[in-house]
Amino acid sequence: MFIQDLNDKRHSVRVNYVADATVVFKQDGRTFQSRLKNLSIDGILLQTEEMAAEGVPCTVTIGVAGSHSRLVIDDIDGEVVRSAPGEMGIKFLHPFEWLALFHVYHSKSA
């Protein structure tokens, strides 16, 4: 059972899940590949050395590789809320409607 830390500022539970992610910054078209560390209905945490200022708008694509296929979830609008060496937090502008899929996959692989 997952119990969220009472001091955690997040409004929803995170799922620790590793997957490929691509981020495109809307202002300058800069694109980078990354690895997803965890996600929630509100946003994601990426493992990356890329840096961006807080509030920078972006679009995220998440790619989940299976043994014989690949699931791609694209056009996720967000904005950078945290950027530090090694990781970047992105807040989604709309609730992540596919989160239930990750809960199912996470429980199957646990």
Q: Within the chain, how many helices (H) and strands (E) appear?
A: 1, 6
Tell whether the model's pLDDT for residue 10 goes beyond 80.
no
Q: Can you give the pLDDT at residue 65?
A: 84
Prediction pTM value: 0.83
- Determine how β-strand 15-25 pairs with β-strand 57-65: antiparallel
pLDDT score of 110 more than 60: no
Rounded to an integer, what distance in angstroms lies between the CA atom of residue 35 and that of residue 46?
6
Cβ pair 43, 81 in contact under 8 A: yes
Cβ-proximal residues to 63 (8 Å cutoff; 6+ apart), any chain? 19, 20, 21, 22, 70, 71, 72, 73
Question: How confident is the model over 22-73, as pLDDT tens digits?
Answer: 999 999 999 999 999 999 999 999 999 999 999 999 999 999 888 888 889 9
